[in-house]
Structure 1
Amino acid sequence: MGSGVMGSQIGLVAALAGFDVHIYDVKQEPFDKAQQELLKRLDRRVEKGKLTKADKDAAWERITWTTSLDEAVGQTDYVIEAVVENVDIKRSLFEQIDGLAPAHAILATNSSTIVSSKIADATNRADKVCNFHFFNPALVMEMVEVVKGPHTSQETADLSMELAGALGKTPILLKKEISGFIANRILGKLMNEALYLYENDYATAEEIDLACTKALNHPIGPFALIDLTGLDIHYHVRKQRFEESGDESDRPARIIEEKVNKGELGRKTGKGFYSYT
């Protein structure tokens, strides 16, 4: 559900693993951009010998792009929602899906900020609702976090772990909910410190990134990572967490808010903490 960067890549991950996939969005326009990006990534894999052209074509044939919610979920076994980080929008969507998807279907959210207990009661199958969290870029990153809310059945958790393995991912199971889960909570502490050092003029974004990549051996620095995932995503995640906790330390950093207001969202707009031409 959702044909943005995460939704479209999750769909392709499933198609490459042999599953029939529907990628849904409310309108046709986002499909063109998503398809171009996915085909570019697939062609790159073929050029590097990581994928045969036959396998690429077969995976592409398994994907149906649709603006019909009924077509998307009417015969599905597992739904993965990857729409905007807004709990009201997610609840409305899950309520609609619940009325259309088969009774056995699991309804999962890819959100790492909004735990599924905030969504599950919008459905009549709370035991079949969980978080199923991929990392960006979903085609590359190996980890999936499966989160068992107080409403989630053990069967749903077990099937979700099994599916993650079938998709070629390495899953971990959180036995109870916590906003941000494991990886992003740890990463969030590093992000906070990086932003503090930057806003207080201790060093530039480039220098802080170099400290992380060259001294800590991280594959990418925190500012390059925010640019990659999108400053708007970072902003909305922190805003949601602040609204939940009321803790000032959870509030989006001033520099993030300024850049989002200027439309500097990272790679997707050509400028964030770095410029992309």
Structure 2
Amino acid sequence: MAGPNIENVRRILVVGSGAMGSQIGMVCALAGYEVALQDIEEEMLGRAREELERRMGRNVEKGRMSREEVEAAFGRMTFTTDLEGPASEADFVIEAVVERLDVKREVFRRLDRAAPGHAVLATNSSTIVSSRIADATGRPELVCNMHFFNPALVMRCVEVVRNPKTSDATVETTAELARRVGKEPVVINKEVPGFVANRILHAIRSEALWLYENGVASFEDIDTACRTALGHPMGPFELMDLTGIDVAYHAANSRYEESGDPKDRPAKSIVEKYERGELGRKSGRGWYTYDEEGRRVE
């Protein structure tokens, strides 16, 4: 069986229609690929389509792209609850389901049975390395992390992470796919928790939380310092609200499980917000408060 080749990638399956999966699907469709977006719930798929239509409509209104481009992209997308059917036609699969190892391993088992032998099976996970998933398949050399950043329609970086069995052809194909969908790949040759960007982000976030919890400065002023002194587009607390405080909570727990280092446990203020359901923009309140459109009100 021939190995992966970017010239043979025409159909892409994205598994999971949450914020990341749906936007990854649209990024690929806008680049000209036939895309199947799969989820286990019709309701999730409906919400994903509505949100994409809202985002794309806003881009058209602001002149970032034409209505024809958007309509053509939607014409290349299908929304389905069927996994095996689209997998059987896919040249490349990007998994973006919940950050639970058991769920991902089961998804990869099913994908391995259904997908053509040349298809790359990539996980978008930012916390689970692909070596923990690859042995659920019979093609570990075709498994890697392809980690997009939130919001995937905007952020340019994609981390391509090889596991010890990932082939060079898989890495090259995945990196080139990232380029062809308008992203800039960063190839990571050794699995480490958090990869590159999130390790750096974690260091900044940990320091910001320490400064806040020790009364050195308010979270608003820490955000202001990061924007006005360091040139960051948003501060660490604003970013936590955007990506989800639940994501920060689970990522910290995952790091702690890997390292056993108490310093990797979620910060006290993160635990408190998680337990109160203050998850950021998605819940209307996190560090800041938001209206129904996700605009900050205080």
What TM-score, normalized to structure 1? 0.98
Unaligned runs of 5+ in 2: 1-14, 292-298
* C-alpha contact (below 8 Å) 2:90/2:119 kept by paired residues: yes
SS at match of 2:135: helix
The yes-or-no answer on 1:83 pairing with 2:97 is: yes
Aligned to 1:229: 243
Where in structure 2 are the equivalents of 1:1-277 lying within 5 Å?
A: 1-277=15-291
Deviations 1:197-246 (A, max 9, x none): 11122221111100100111100000000000001111111111101110
SS at match of 2:60: helix
Amino acid at match of 1:107: L
**Larger deviation, residues 24-33 vs 243-252:** 24-33
- CA distance in structure 2 between the aligned counterparts of 1:71 and 1:202, rounded to whole angstroms: 56
User: Which segments of structure 1 move beyond 3 Å, counting only runs of 4 or more?
Assistant: none
- CA distance in structure 1 between the aligned counterparts of 2:157 and 2:58, rounded to whole angstroms: 22
**Larger deviation, residues 70-79 vs 2-11:** 70-79
Deviations 1:103-154 (A, max 9, x none): 1110000112111000000000000000001010000000111011101000
Amino acid at match of 1:78: F
- CA distance in structure 2 between the aligned counterparts of 1:164 and 1:7, rounded to whole angstroms: 15
Query: What's the RMSD between the two structures over aligned residues?
Result: 0.8
- CA distance in structure 1 between the aligned counterparts of 2:109 and 2:250, rounded to whole angstroms: 23
Amino acid at match of 2:154: V
Report the Cα offset of residue 85 of structure 1.
Answer: 1.0
- CA distance in structure 1 between the aligned counterparts of 2:222 and 2:119, rounded to whole angstroms: 45
Report the Cα offset of residue 184 of structure 1.
Answer: 0.7
Amino acid at match of 1:4: G
Report the Cα offset of residue 185 of structure 1.
Answer: 0.5
What TM-score, normalized to structure 2? 0.91
Q: Percent identity?
A: 55
* C-alpha contact (below 8 Å) 2:84/2:110 kept by paired residues: no
Amino acid at match of 1:80: I
Unaligned runs of 5+ in 1: none
